[in-house]
A = this chain, B = another copy of it.
Amino acid sequence: MISNESLKIIPLGGLGEIGKNMTVIEYGNDIIVIDAGLKFPEEQLPGVDLVLPDYSYLRENRDKLRAIILTHGHEDHVGCLPFLLRDLNVPLYGTRLTIGLAKGKLAEYLPLDELELNEIDPRFDLEIGPFKLEFMRVCHSIPDGVALAIHTPVGVIVHSGDFKFDQTPVDGVTTDFSKFASVGDRGVLALLSDSTNSEDEGFTRTERSVGTVLNQIVAQARRRVIAASFASHIHRIQQIMEVAHGNGRRVAITGLSMIRNISIASELGYLRIPEKLLVPVEKIDDYPEDQILILSTGSQGEPLSALARIASHDHKKVNLRRGDTVIISATPVPGNEKSVSKTIDQLFRGGAEVYYESIAEVHVSGHGAREELKLMINLVRPKYFIPIHGEYRHLIHHAMLAADTGVEKDKILIAGNGDIIEFSQDKAAIVGRIDSGAIFVDGLGVGDVGDVVIRDRQRLSQHGMIIVVATVDGSTGKLLTGPDIISRGFVGIPDSAQILEEAKRKAEEALLICEREAITDWMLLKSHVKDSLSKFLFAKTMKRPMIIPVIMEV
């Protein structure tokens, strides 16, 4: 029974990486989970669409699982839900907008009436099993975000969610200093805090400062304005709409996620759209060019997004014109630098004036910088500190910063996904490790892309492939027809016809040797052909194409 009296925190995602945030809190026979996010794959994962945390621990402990609590509505905190909820029907809890956005997403995948979606009001506490949850409002690049104080039999765990301390937020809702301070006064066992910007000195600028810059740009634009941002950044969208309104421009919206999120957020009262501001995107030509602002998705240069289509003159309803002003009010998510840069270039080529982060202050981060991270620690004054949400180097810098603010060094735990952090009243330690890692979503398949598939794809993409086709007599091994060579993604024009011709002869030689030696063992035959071709092609081209002998017995 000893292990049952301890509290376990098990991060399933978000540690040592940006994205797929998910944390298990377990006491005795009860588990709650904070967030269930996804991340987008890196180049090393060709063809993979999404990456999910491996939540097999929850499947194995489904009878203990009581709830998933969502801190806010970003994909890296809620994006795993459509997949997880297929396996495990567990009650969800989140603030009004968070649940609203999650619903919008879930409706595409699952029948909503079979799910338990619970709106919480952050002013009131929530009891789930042995846990009592207090909610603290936090500012972030999406409204209605919360941090949690989880009261457990062992002590209070504070989970920061994603936060910044914006002193002048667009909706007037500041991060709840006093509630954090009050929780801190009552004594906190451990703080789990957002490390994303732990390398950035000072304070993150207020969201409102972006509005000022946007207003300057829009005020001096003489023709149409096209503004792209994250579709979930309701405050940014609010500011863009106000700037448009103030400058006598109507707003047209393009991009599915932008349309959906604006409709949800305005319905729930998180977005106040001035009357008669919106016009359908089909109608923009009914207005003078200097009275139109087009609000668009595609701030990451995603090839199929509205902005990328506008830039490449491939959008059905909006065509870029010379003299348009384009504002990319976002930062490239790591890995997207090249595609954003490509979109910017295309916009310039199309004759637009383009404003983006590196030349104008059209974006601020939603995560707190180092001074804000220190403030969080000083408000909460935890005994133990666990940096979460960040690459390993972000966790390290956050840990050093925590030590600077006075957390004892041996009470700072740098953990990884899958680590079991066990707390008793008087100590905490990483005591073990569960299977963790990633599930790949590939087309309609979830978890059905193994390492072999990824390795094959990498090889195919780097080296191409060669198929050797022949028929042999099954009893004698005599070569009947072929060999023929089919190649894909292998070297092209000048020398290659000749190389493939020689390759054919090499394959033939190998097959004739087999014939002479009356080799009829399938595997042996194939491996002879493969080896001899592989050696030959590497010597000729320095490439190692995948070689597939298709040798048929007749």
Contacts and interface: CB of A to CB of B under 8 A. Distances in A.
Nearest to A45: B461
A467 B467 contact: yes
A216 interface: no
Contacts of A541: 442-445
Given A335-B338, A457-B460, A543-B442, A396 B348 contact: yes
B445 A496 contact: yes
Interface stretch (A108-116, A129-137, A483-491): A483-491
Given A47-B489, A481-B552, A345 B449 contact: no
A464 interface: yes
Interface residues of A, number: 67
B453 A489 contact: yes
Contacts of A424: none
Given A457-B460, A480-B554, A543-B443, A495 B396 contact: no
A458 B461 contact: yes
A320 interface: no
Contact of A552 (B471, B491, B495): B471
Q: What is the count of identical protomers in the complex?
A: 2
Contacts of A480: 554
A431 interface: no
A428 to B, nearest CB: 21
Nearest to A446: B494
Contacts of A469: 550, 552
Given A43-B338, A46-B46, 6 more contacts: A341-B393, A443-B543, A448-B492, A460-B488, A465-B488, A554-B554
6 contacts: A46-B46, A341-B391, A348-B393, A443-B543, A457-B460, A481-B552
| 6 A-B pairs with least C-beta separation | A461-B461, A443-B542, A450-B492, A460-B460, A46-B461, A456-B489
